[in-house]
Structure 1
Amino acid sequence: MTPRHALAAVAVAIIWGANFVIIDAGLHDMPPLLFVALRFLAVVVPAIFVVRRPAVPWRDIALVGLFLSIGQFGLLYLSLDLGMPPGLASLVVQVQVIFTVVIAAVSLKERPSRRQQLGIVVGLVGLAVVALGRNAATPWLALVLCLAGALSWATGNVVIRRVGTASGLGMTVWSGLFVPIPMLTLSLLVDGPQAVATGLRHIDLVTIGSTLYTACLCSLFGYGVWNSLLARYPTASVVPFTLLVPVSGIATAWVFRNERPTFGTVVGGLLLLAGVLVTSLGRRRRASRPPVQLLTSPTLRR
């Protein structure tokens, strides 16, 4: 990989890592599900008028939107709103790589290699250490929702694999079309019309900045660069850069939120990231099928 492209990969990882703190800042006076709706409205408009729709059935585009957008980000935003520390969230969601391999093994009959199996075990042990060693102020429900978001993300990865198309900018934009109305509807049902109206009335510069950051930098710019790198280089050359995402996330949370990782989080996080690295770089290729594409941005993806 050329130095210029390596710097681009590092820049994307830093942008994605800081995303968690920026999302959390935007949630200050905004119902989380409504905030997801606003984010994807900014992803879709005006990009949908200039980005070509992927050549796959509408049903598959909708499924990608369901799992990679509604499920992943709806659950993540709820988790952050309930008290999940942003730095810890940027670490925990990396378990989606392990979940992806496990779901692909069950649904697509793609048996993981021995190296992948070792990575899965190490990663899950690390996740358990993170869960037990987390700060006592972190609610269990917030942690569970964060893990559920990672599971939805992993399911979406396998949907992309089954569809047989790369998750490029077109899929990002057009699958986002299925997000704003369902998220707004859920927010009206869960939070109530009054909370939604209050949130819309209290949109400020922080909310606008957070929305534009997540939509433009993380989704459109981040995935535009990331997919171009995946098109140029082997996955094994690109995937390791995603390990910088939780480093950026934890560092950003430490600097701007004074969120100091506990000893258990550090030890478990190192184990989790080691498991993710072994799992993502240990895929066994088959002649009949390309390997599952691991979408390794945390909040990403959009």
Structure 2
Amino acid sequence: MPIRHVLLAIAVAALWGVNFIAIDLSLAAYPPLLLAALRFGLIAIPTLLFVRPPRVRRRWVIGYGLGFGVLQFGFLYWGMAAGMPAGLASLVLQSSAPFTVLLGAVLLRERPTPARAIGIVAALFGLLVVGWQRAEHAALLPFLLTLAAGLGWAIGNVCNRQARTTEPFRLMLWMTVVPPLPLLALSAVLEGPERIGAALRGAIGPEGLWPTLGLLFTAIVATIGGSGIWTWLLSRHPAGLVAPFSLLVPVFGMTSAWLLLDERVQPGELAGGALVVAGVVLVAVAPASRSRRRR
């Protein structure tokens, strides 16, 4: 890759890492499910008005939106609102990589190579260590919710792969049309109209300025800008060359959380995190899979 493209890939990883700080900032004023709905709604409205739908089966767009949008960000925001530190959330969300390989093996009959299998085991063991440390030092529920977010991302990845689109950025934009209504319905039931109304009224006041800027950063800069650049890089280079740069996301996420939020991570969590990253590296750089089983 040219050095300019390498720097772009690193910049996207930095955007996505810092994005966890923006989410943490937004959760100070918005309930988590409402915040997730607003994030996608800000992109969905102009998409419906100005972007032509991708030429893929509708069910894969819906599945992509439900997995990547509703499940991933519904659980992620809920977990962070319940107490999951922003930096640690950026790490645990990397569980999507081994989950994607496992779902591919179960649903698509993609047999992982031995190297990928070792990576999955290492990553899952690392997550167990992080979970055990969270149970020792803090509530376990936020960790489990973030882990569920990683599984949701993996479901979205499988649907995205099955769409087999030649227009990935267009598919990503239309995926955002799916989550707002389900998330708003869940927000109305679980968070209540009074809390929603108070959050929306507070958004226009001085105390809502920074949380709203965090929401705009998440929707416009991280989602449209970051995903747009990432898609552009994937269209010019092999996925195996670009994808490993996403491993820098928890590095930027945990570093920015330490610098900006004064978050401290337990030594055991760092050890478990190192295992997760090592496992994800193996999953990312090893050959994808053996040939599918003969029918």
- The TM tier, using the shorter chain, reads over 0.9
Q: Is the 8 A contact 1:97 1:276 kept in 2?
A: yes
Measure the CA separation in 1 of the matches of 2:251 and 2:72: 21
Partner of 1:227: 231
Partner of 1:264: 268
Deviation at 1:283, TM superposition (A): 2.9
Deviation at 1:224, TM superposition (A): 0.8
Q: Is the 8 A contact 1:160 1:166 kept in 2?
A: no
Partner of 1:248: 252
Equivalent position SS for 2:103? helix
Structure 1: runs of 5+ lacking an equivalent:
289-302
Partner of 1:277: 281
Equivalent position SS for 2:92? helix
Partner of 2:91: 91
Percent sequence identity is: 41
Deviation at 1:193, TM superposition (A): 1.0
Q: Deviations over 1:98-129 (max 9, x none)?
A: 00000100001000001111111111111112
* Structural RMSD (CA): 1.8
Measure the CA separation in 2 of the matches of 1:38 and 1:98: 29
Deviation at 1:212, TM superposition (A): 1.1
Which sits farther off after the overlay, 200-209 or 71-80? 200-209
Q: Is the 8 A contact 1:100 1:157 kept in 2?
A: yes
Partner of 1:110: 110
Q: Deviations over 1:154-185 (max 9, x none)?
A: 01111112222267221222111122122111
Partner of 1:22: 22
What does residue range 53-202 of structure 1 map to in structure 2 within 5 Å? 53-134=53-134, 136=136, 138-165=138-165, 168-202=168-202
Measure the CA separation in 1 of the matches of 2:267 and 2:212: 35
Q: Is the 8 A contact 2:54 2:167 kept in 1?
A: no
Deviation at 1:133, TM superposition (A): 2.5
Structure 2: runs of 5+ lacking an equivalent:
none
Deviation at 1:48, TM superposition (A): 3.7
AA paired with 1:114?
P
Q: Is the 8 A contact 2:67 2:152 kept in 1?
A: yes
Equivalent position SS for 1:202? helix
AA paired with 1:223?
S
Q: How many residues align?
A: 289
AA paired with 2:18?
A
What does residue range 39-54 of structure 1 map to in structure 2 within 5 Å? 39-54=39-54
| TM-score normalised by length of structure 1 | 0.91
Q: Deviations over 1:27-71 (max 9, x none)?
A: 112111111111111122324433331111222211111111011
Measure the CA separation in 1 of the matches of 2:176 and 2:18: 22
Measure the CA separation in 2 of the matches of 1:256 and 1:201: 27
| TM-score normalised by length of structure 2 | 0.93
